[in-house]
Chain A
Amino acid sequence: MSTLELEPEVLERLGRPIRGPSALGRDRTRFTRLAWTLSVLDFKLKFFGSVLGYLWQLMRPLLLFGVLYVVFTQFLNLTSDLPYYPVSLLLGIVLFQFFAEATGASIRSIPYREGLIRRVDFPRLVIPVASVLTAVFNLALNLVPVFIFLLIAGGRPRLSWLELPLVLLMLIGLALGLAMMLSALFVRYRDVEPIWDVVVQALFYATPILYSIQVVIDKAGIHLARLIMCSPFATVVQQLRHAIIDPRYLSAGQIFGTPLGLLIPVGLTLGTLIVGWAVFRRAAPRVAEEL
């Protein structure tokens, strides 16, 4: 039964055989369209899914901001000498929530899309990409009040605002690299999620969000500050404060002492992307079977 009476000429005209599911697929437009459709629908779900949908998306960072602001300015008084401290705190929170949301949502993204994965062939990478994209929409939304508050508080547009897209690109790249890695790992190892929760919590305190990097330099020395800045996420937060809010916030390059120091966080981001891609690409063809 296994003999196939087909001439080689016919096989040649058929072109390449199909290869089964892969991370990227062959059709780039389809990839983009799918990622876009999935993330837009997800965003719509969050937005219109409940009565307070839109409001809630905006309120989450603002509420957290309110709590932290009261605690740290009224009771602890660590940071009040910094320019526009409230806005800078809000910016840090918004960026952190993006990071937590993008990576957190991607962990469960593959089981969440099980219905599609088991029934349709599509580029598997669409799934973590869509999770990150949904978080990007939220980030864009949440950055609006940051800029409004900054202008109200007296900040003025500067040329360095143009750094925003570039730095955000680094942040999104970092989130995507982790999203690919985590979503692929979760299919095999279900304890990835609680472990990652702890990592994200630790990252919150390991990043100058509540405190300023100046305090670290003053109290613990420049070396610890540089170590903190090795984290790509800390670099993103600090650099955006410098570029958007006020130049008195040290830039990442200033902390390292040389712009070459930036190679560490940028390199780590690229490394995360590469490792994430490698892990995901390896897992992609078998994902439908392992669910």
Chain B
Amino acid sequence: MDALPAIVVDGLNKTFRLPKEKIHTLKERALHPLRKTQFDEFNALRDVSFAIQPGEFFGIVGRNGSGKSTLLKCLAGIYAADSGRIWVNGRLSTFIELGVGFNPDLAARDNVLLNAAMLGLSQREADRRFDSIIDFAELHDFVDLKIKNYSSGMLVRLAFSVMIQVDAEIMLIDEVLAVGDASFQQKCFDEFERIRAAGKTVLLVTHDTGAVQRFCTRAMLLEHGRIVATGDPETVGNRYLQLNFSREARAQLEQEARARQLHGQQPVEFMGDEGARFGDRRAEITEAWFEGADGRPSLTLANGEPATFAMRVRFNEDVTDPHFSMAMVNSQRMQLFSASSVFADPRPGLFRTGEEVTYRVRFDNILGPDRYAVTAAVTVGGGAPLELRERMLSVVVTRTRTTGTLVDVPYVQQVERIDPALTRQEIIR
């Protein structure tokens, strides 16, 4: 007998009815007993079908409002489906809306026991796991503190820890990576590694294509409640990035940025949003792209493999000895890599009006997994740019090993036995 799928979803539909004018009180209902409430319908999920095998680490990506979280809530049994069937084969543990629901007036101890009960553990099982939950959350000193006095980071740590430690066969995890500090994220990553090795089934909903490409065995892209793509995380992640930077998505993000400005908040710049162009345009950078190890253009680069950055430059005037350069910053805006032809020898010489060149930078990709934005420039002499294009391109780096570092500096290592006959002085010398 072959193994049964862990999760099967067949033709799932979910529609939310948003009342146009809601009757909030019995009084209104009594005054207008016959008035029908008008509804706006919002199709959160439309005809979604898929199956997940046990042991899969399944990523679900999609933009805000694409139905990811609704899907997870249907799987978790929190929302009732309008039509379609769902099978869940195994015990579930959920991490939805940043946690499992804490009571602010109770101490961590009671909350953990309550949540363990909610997720299906008996009192005895919960007691037995209590220490490991607190261990993982690193909250020993705060066990008897009321939850309302916890910081948000502590809360997320505790909730995630409960979710992990109840030892369910299937885990539904919604956006755990969006919160918490870097060290917690690293811890999540390590834990994902462990869960995957343990052969558990995981559904991970996230915006972070890097994490999807790093951990997931398969992924799915949702848009407007429909499945747009299912398949290997690499392809799905790329589709998601394309979707994200499509015209429509840009318009939406710009609108959000404007709304924020109206409310007096800082406008947010997002990665991939092309920055300004500077320069006198004596030369123009017409396009830029990355090439993977196979020499083909790619939106993602694998860590540990050779990679190439390429840009095409057209000269609008005669220019002698131009310099080409590029720099890559990660999502934290740290510049991790730059290349330039300033010190190159021999000098490139004279380029005629109308001439086009391709500038390539080949490098061993030791960058850590992240989204990088690339700024490219053509300068001449002392430095006034002919053209500089800020963040004109973005690329995702994936990595299969977990090192947790920003870059993987290449190294050789050696273990050398020390001859016990040598004197101490000789060793020091």
Give residues in A with beta carbon < 8 Å to B.
1-4, 6, 10-11, 13-15, 17-21, 30, 33-34, 37-38, 41, 44-45, 49, 113, 115-122, 185, 189-192, 195, 285-286, 288-289
Question: Are B114's CB and A45's CB within 8 A?
Answer: no
Give the residue of A1, A2, A191, A285 whose beta carbon is less than 8 angstroms from that of B26: A191
CB-contact partner of B226 in A1, A6, A118, under 8 A: A1
Identify the stretch in B81-89, B203-211, B338-346 within 8 Å (CB) of chain A at 4 or more residues. Answer: B81-89
Residues of A contacting B92 with CB < 8 Å? 121
Q: Which residues of B contact A190 (CB under 8 A)?
A: 24-25
**Nearest A-chain residue to B228, judged by Cβ:** A1
Contact A1–B86 (Cβ < 8 Å): no
Expressed in whole angstroms, the Cα–Cα distance for A228 and B230 within the complex equals 68
Would you call B87 and A18 a contact (CB within 8 A)? yes
5 shortest interchain CB distances as A-B pairs: A20-B80, A121-B77, A115-B101, A116-B101, A17-B85
Query: Can you show 22 pairs from A to B with CB atoms below 8 A apart?
Result: A10-B4, A11-B8, A14-B8, A17-B86, A18-B86, A20-B74, A21-B79, A37-B117, A38-B114, A49-B105, A113-B101, A115-B101, A118-B96, A120-B115, A121-B77, A185-B26, A189-B23, A190-B24, A192-B26, A285-B80, A288-B78, A289-B16
Which of B49, B88, B94, B122 is within 8 Å of A120, CB to CB? B94
Question: Across the interface, do B101 and A119 meet the contact criterion of CB distance under 8 Å?
Answer: yes
Q: Give the distance to chain B from A128, nearest Cβ to Cβ, in Å.
A: 17
CB pair B97–A1 under 8 Å, yes or no, is no
- Residue B263 at the chain A interface, CB threshold 8 Å: no
A34 CB, nearest partner CB in chain B, Å: 6
Q: Is B76 an interface residue (CB 8 A)?
A: yes
Chain B 91-115 residues near chain A, CB threshold 8 A: 92, 94, 96-97, 99-103, 105-106, 110, 113-115
Report Cα–Cα, A33/B116, bound state, in Å. 11
B47 at interface by CB-CB < 8 Å: yes
Q: If the complex has contacts A17-B87, A30-B120, A41-B106, are A119 and B94 also in contact, measured as CB distance less than 8 A?
A: yes
Does chain A have a CB within 8 A of B119?
yes
Which residues of B (10-49) have their CB < 8 Å from a CB of A?
10-11, 16, 23-27, 29, 47-49
Q: A1 — nearest CB in chain B belongs to which residue?
A: B227
- Taking CB atoms, residues of chain A closer than 8 Å to B23 are 189
**Which residues of chain B have C-beta atoms less than 8 A from A38's C-beta?**
114
Task: Give the docked Cα–Cα distance between A11 and B50 (Å).
Answer: 13
Residues in A with CB closer than 8 Å to B228 are 1
Q: Smallest CB–CB gap between B372 and chain A, Å?
A: 31
What chain A residues lie within 8 Å of B226 (beta carbons)?
1
- B80 lies within 8 A of A21 (CB): yes
Shortest Cβ distance from residue A184 to the other chain B in the assembled complex, whole angstroms: 13
| B180 close to A (CB within 8 Å) | no
Q: Is the CB of B24 within 8 A of A189?
A: yes
Decide if B100 touches A119 in the complex (CB within 8 Å): yes
B107 shortest CB reach to chain A, Å: 10
Interface size class of B (residues with CB under 8 A): 35 or more
| In the complex, residue of chain B having the shortest beta-carbon distance to the beta carbon of A192 | B26
Is the Cβ of A120 less than 8 Å from the Cβ of B79? no
In the assembled complex, B118 has its CB within 8 A of some CB on chain A:
yes
Is the Cβ of A4 less than 8 Å from the Cβ of B118? Answer: no
Q: Which of B16, B50, B78, B118 contacts A118 (CB 8 A)?
A: B78
B51 on interface, CB distance cutoff 8 Å: yes
Q: Does B123 contact A (CB under 8 A)?
A: yes
Of the candidates A13, A30, A44, A121, the one whose C-beta lies within 8 Å of that of B76 is A121
Q: Write out, one digit per residue, whether chain B residues 114-147 have a CB within 8 A of any chain A CB (1) or not (0).
A: 1101111011000000000000000000000000
Give the chain A neighbours of B117 by CB distance below 8 A. Answer: 33-34, 37
Question: Are A20 and B99 in contact, CB atoms less than 8 angstroms apart?
Answer: no
Q: Does B200 count as interface, using CB distance less than 8 angstroms?
A: no
Of chain A, the residue at the smallest CB distance from B46 is A2
Identify the closest chain B residue to A126 (Cβ).
Answer: B118
Nearest Cβ in chain B — how far from A174, in angstroms?
21
Binary interface profile of B, 38-67, with partner A (CB < 8 Å = 1, else 0)?
000000000111110000000000000000
| Chain B residues, CB < 8 A from A4 | 8, 10-11, 49-51
Closest Cβ of chain B to A163, distance in Å, is 34
Query: Which B residues touch A118, using CB under 8 A?
Result: 78, 96-97, 101
Contact A120 B4 (CB under 8 A): no
- Rounded to whole angstroms, the CA-CA distance of A49 and B107 in the bound complex is 11
| Chain B residues within 8 Å of A113, by CB | 101
Output the residue of B23, B48, B73, B113 with the most chain A CB within 10 A: B73
Q: Which residues of B contact A285 (CB under 8 A)?
A: 80
Instruction: Say yes or no for B279: interface residue by CB 8 A criterion.
Output: no
Is A41 touching B80 in the complex (CB atoms < 8 A)?
no
Cβ of B297 under 8 Å from chain A: no
Minimum CB distance partner of A121 in chain B: B77
Counting CB contacts under 8 A, is B275 at the interface?
no
Residue numbers in B under 8 Å from A191 (CB-CB) = 24-27
Most chain A CB inside 10 Å of its own CB: which residue of B92, B113, B117, B226: B117
Q: Does B306 contact A (CB under 8 A)?
A: no
- The CB with the most chain B CB atoms within 10 A, among A2, A38, A288, is that of A2
Q: CA separation between A94 and B77, bound complex, in Å?
A: 40
Query: In the complex, A13→B5 CA distance in Å?
Result: 10
A34-B118, A189-B26, A195-B26 as given contacts; A19 in contact with B5, CB under 8 Å: no
Quick one: closest B residue to A19, CB to CB? B80
Q: Are A18 and B25 in contact (CB under 8 A)?
A: no
Give Cα distance in the complex from A71 to B276, angstroms. 82
Interchain CB contact under 8 A, B105 and A45? yes
**Per-position binary interface string of chain B over residues 353-381, scored 1 when its CB falls under 8 Å from any chain A CB and 0 otherwise:** 00000000000000000000000000000
Q: A6-B51, A115-B102, A189-B25 given; name 13 further pairs at CB < 8 Å.
A: A1-B47, A4-B8, A4-B10, A4-B11, A21-B80, A30-B120, A45-B105, A115-B99, A119-B101, A120-B78, A120-B118, A190-B25, A288-B78
Residues on A with beta carbons closer than 8 Å to the beta carbon of B110: 41, 44
Interface contact B49-A10, CB-CB below 8 Å: no
Please pick, from B4, B16, B50, the residue contacting A13 in the complex, using a CB distance under 8 A: B4
Tell me which residues across on chain A come within 8 A of B102, comparing CB atoms: 115
